[in-house]
């Protein structure tokens, strides 16, 4: 079913459960070429969430700032090609939420282990904030924190579970959001972790 969680945000509960094994296999293929790593924030802090990317561009962070780039800073190689199953899943979900012609050039893969969290932030490094972001959740559940357009406003919480997909667009695209520290657990597909995959369209050609 499709739940409107905001004027431009739609949750498809359990929508990718049947593709879980194939999606995790695709993630494993990507991280065999571009391993999970803990990026450093511009302020010098190590992120608890480990990240990798596939697609034409990847999101990176270091002392110089946040940005998208076509090469993996660990190897100097281009990011792995986005597996077809990932691209097809993202495009199909965007279309179901009313966003046609979604052509993501970035697929950011986040790995959360027990205690890992993501502080409240906005996703605004993409040149094109008119394109939505599609997110897929796999493995252990997480508490998602969802605020407004200002950091200081009230927040709501909801659980993102294995198999959930969310499309975030329109006026919800720039909302502050984060993830509470992951609770320890065991999942048959991902063992001790949660995998979150986000698809973005930067519109950047370099
Ligand atoms: C709401 N990831 O990678 S996914 C991120 O679970 C990120 O790993 C979280 O926030 C995670 O930037 C949340 C859901 C999500 C992604 C992007 C959004 C929610 C969003 C952009 C705008 C509003
Ligand atoms: Fe985000």
Asked whether residue 158 is domain-assigned, the answer is yes
Annotated binding site for 2-oxoglutarate: 110-112, 194-200
What is the pLDDT averaged over residues 112-122? 98
What is the pLDDT averaged over residues 72-90? 98
Maximum CA extent, the chain: 42
User: Tens digit of pLDDT for each residue in 22-55?
Assistant: 999 999 999 999 999 999 999 999 999 999 999 9
- For residue 39, give its domain range: 2-200
Annotated binding site for substrate: 59, 66-68, 125, 151
Statement: the pTM of the whole predicted model exceeds 0.95 = yes
Asked whether residue 205 is domain-assigned, the answer is no
| CB-based burial, 16-27: b 16+ in 10 Å, e otherwise | beebbeebeebb
What is the pLDDT averaged over residues 167-190? 97
Asked whether residue 78 is domain-assigned, the answer is yes
Mutate which of 122, 198, 202 for ligand 1? The one with the most ligand atoms within 8 Å of its CB, which is 198
Asked whether residue 191 is domain-assigned, the answer is yes
Domain CATH number, residue 173: 2.60.120.590
ipTM for this prediction: 0.96
**Contacts of residue 27, Cβ cutoff 8 Å, sequence gap at least 6:** 109, 138, 195, 197
Q: How far is the CA of 177 from the centre of ligand 2 (A)?
A: 6
Asked whether residue 67 is domain-assigned, the answer is yes
Asked whether residue 206 is domain-assigned, the answer is no
Q: How far is the CA of 33 from the centre of ligand 1 (A)?
A: 24
Domain count, the chain: 1
Asked whether residue 193 is domain-assigned, the answer is yes
């Amino acid at each position: 079913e499709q739940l409107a969680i905001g004027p431009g945000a739609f949750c498809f509960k359990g929508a990718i459960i049947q593709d879980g094994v194939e999606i995790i296999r695709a993630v494993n293929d990507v991280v065999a070429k571009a391993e999970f790593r803990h990026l450093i924030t511009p302020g010098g802090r190590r992120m608890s969430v480990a990240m990798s990317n596939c697609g034409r561009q990847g999101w990176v962070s270091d002392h110089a700032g946040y940005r998208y780039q076509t090469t993996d800073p660990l190897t100097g190689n281009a990011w792995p090609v986005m597996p077809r199953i990932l691209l097809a899943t993202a495009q199909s979900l965007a279309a179901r939420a009313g966003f046609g012609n979604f052509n993501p050039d970035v697929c950011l893969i986040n790995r959360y282990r027990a205690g890992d969290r993501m502080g409240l932030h906005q996703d605004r490094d993409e040149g094109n904030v008119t394109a939505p972001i599609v997110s897929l959740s796999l493995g252990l559940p997480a508490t998602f924190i969802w605020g407004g357009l200002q950091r200081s406003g009230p927040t709501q919480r909801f659980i993102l579970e294995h198999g959930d997909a969310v499309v975030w667009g329109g006026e919800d695209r720039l909302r502050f959001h984060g993830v509470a520290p992951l609770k320890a657990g065991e999942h048959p597909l991902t063992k001790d972790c949660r995998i979150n995959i986000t698809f973005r369209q930067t519109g950047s050609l370099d």
